[in-house]
């Protein structure tokens, strides 16, 4: 038996220590520190957006994005926001916290991203925006979404939390949104342990982000015209993210290498693997997913349990938004069927892609998966 293989392990061999040491030696711990500004500047440039604003994490970046878009464009309460059903709860939750209504669209079979052919069906007079999420490291098919947004005069909120450095037809993910969000969670291509960013090329929008993330303080400090949050990032977190950003191309290459090896090693298993490439992008494999064929009697949960017995950590796929008990209770669900995202949850899971995984570990993991699914 091998030692425990976590789904992710970071490699921190760049300037992380050096930059943290500078934080301590200069006494700059807070959100006014130079690494916060450096990260905002360098990461927004990297993503081809003009401005960035660091946040506590990717979920808070979405809270800010929805709040600021509603505030800037004066959306009414209960305006509708289109979101992929196959997704983490953050975007839906951000809508609800901002008195906006999330409306869900099913996933597409091959890429697991939003099914762009099903977006127009749910557009109403109340629809204000589409949230694009690039699931698991492969971009959504952005062009048809932009066309729809253009046709119906909708804004784009781009959640690129799983797609740092990824491109769609050669253009950076995170550059397509009127506002875009990222996460720098531990397992992301750029990490600060916990952290996030909001990007925009509109100065007004980013000023509003900075306003709402800093408790809506005004020049007359402690007098408030709006309610905000404290969602500021510390200089410590930004220091580490700056160091990680310097190495992002290495990280992406390593991830692509892991993904490519898994494709070779697992090509015979009765399952669909993370899509290798679409005409508009190659997968970056933020995570490497497996969706077991329907005719295999095992659920993802059963396979995951067997893999854990072999010391291999895995994670379940997202549970569809249109089935969430909390959203049912809040009375915001409709009767539309979204079978793909339901199947993805039952049959899907993802396997280790830590940056330090050796070939022999990848072979070990693949062998165990084959044993469970094929023999």
Residues that bind a copy of itself (CB under 8 A): 9-12, 16-17, 20-21, 23-25, 27, 29-31, 33, 56-60, 63, 88-90, 93, 96-97, 185-186, 191-195, 215-216, 220-237, 240, 315-319, 324-327, 329, 345
Q: DSSP readout, 237-273?
A: HHHHHHHHHTTHHHHHHHHHHHHHHHHHHTTTSSEEE
Minimum gap (Å) between residue 333 Cβ and a copy of itself:
13
Q: Kindly report the CA angle at 373 between 289 and 163, in degrees rounded to 5?
A: 5
Pairing of strands 80-84, 101-105: parallel
In angstroms, what is the minimal distance from the CB of 220 to a copy of itself? 8
Residue 73 or residue 97: which is nearer to a copy of itself going by CB? 97
SS3 171: strand
Complex with a copy of itself: residue 104 or 168, whichever CB lies closer:
104
Q: Rounded to whole angstroms, how far apart are CA atoms 37 and 43?
A: 10
CB 7, min distance to a copy of itself, A: 12
Name the residue nearer to a copy of itself (CB basis): 24 or 308.
24
Shortest separation between residue 60's beta carbon and a copy of itself, angstroms? 6
Tokens of 156: 């784009």
**Closest separation in Å from C-beta 216 to a copy of itself:** 7
Q: Output the smallest distance, CB 35 to a copy of itself, in A.
A: 10
User: Are the C-beta atoms of residues 82 and 129 closer than 8 Å to each other?
Assistant: yes
Q: How far apart are CA 273 and CA 264, in angstroms?
A: 11
**DSSP conformation letters of 101-136:** EEEEE-B-TTT-SB-GGGSGGG--TTEEEEEEE-GG
- Considering beta carbons, is residue 49 or 93 the nearer one to a copy of itself? 93
* Residue closer to a copy of itself (CB basis): 57 or 111: 57
- Shorter beta-carbon distance to a copy of itself: residue 220 or 295: 220
């Amino acid at each position: 038996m091998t030692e425990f293989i976590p789904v992710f392990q970071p490699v921190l061999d760049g300037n992380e220590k050096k930059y943290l040491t500078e934080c301590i030696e200069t006494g700059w711990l807070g959100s006014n520190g130079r690494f916060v500004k450096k990260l905002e500047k360098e990461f927004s440039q990297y993503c081809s957006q003009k401005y960035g604003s660091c946040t506590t994490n990717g979920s808070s970046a979405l809270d800010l994005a929805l709040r600021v878009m509603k505030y800037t464009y004066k959306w009414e309460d209960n305006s509708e926001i289109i979101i992929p059903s196959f997704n983490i709860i953050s975007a839906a939750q951000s809508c609800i916290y901002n008195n906006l209504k999330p409306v869900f669209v099913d996933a597409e079979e091959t890429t697991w991203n939003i099914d762009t052919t099903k977006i127009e069906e749910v557009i109403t007079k109340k629809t204000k925006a589409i949230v694009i999420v690039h699931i698991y490291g492969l971009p959504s098919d952005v062009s048809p979404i932009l066309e729809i947004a253009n046709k119906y005069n909708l804004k784009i909120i781009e959640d690129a939390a799983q797609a740092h450095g990824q491109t769609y037809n050669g253009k950076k993910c995170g550059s397509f949104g009127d506002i875009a969000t990222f996460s720098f969670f531990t397992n992301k291509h750029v990490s600060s342990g916990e952290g996030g960013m909001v990007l925009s090329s509109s100065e007004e929008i980013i000023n509003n982000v900075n306003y709402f993330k800093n408790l809506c303080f005004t020049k007359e400090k402690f007098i408030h015209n709006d309610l905000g949050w404290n969602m500021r990032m510390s200089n410590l977190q930004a220091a580490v993210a700056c160091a990680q950003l310097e190495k992002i191309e290495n990280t992406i290459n390593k991830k692509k290498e892991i993904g490519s090896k898994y494709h070779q090693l697992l090509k015979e298993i009765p399952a669909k693997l993370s899509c290798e490439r679409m005409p508009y992008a190659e997968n970056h494999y933020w995570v490497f997913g497996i969706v077991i064929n329907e005719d295999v009697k095992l659920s993802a949960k059963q396979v995951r349990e067997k893999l854990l017995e072999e010391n291999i950590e895995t994670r379940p796929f997202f549970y569809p938004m249109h089935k969430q008990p909390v959203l049912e209770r809040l009375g915001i669900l409709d009767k539309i069927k979204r079978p793909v995202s339901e199947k993805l949850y039952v049959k899907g899971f993802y396997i280790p892609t830590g940056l330090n995984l050796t070939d022999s570990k990848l072979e070990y993991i693949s062998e165990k998966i084959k044993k469970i699914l094929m023999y």
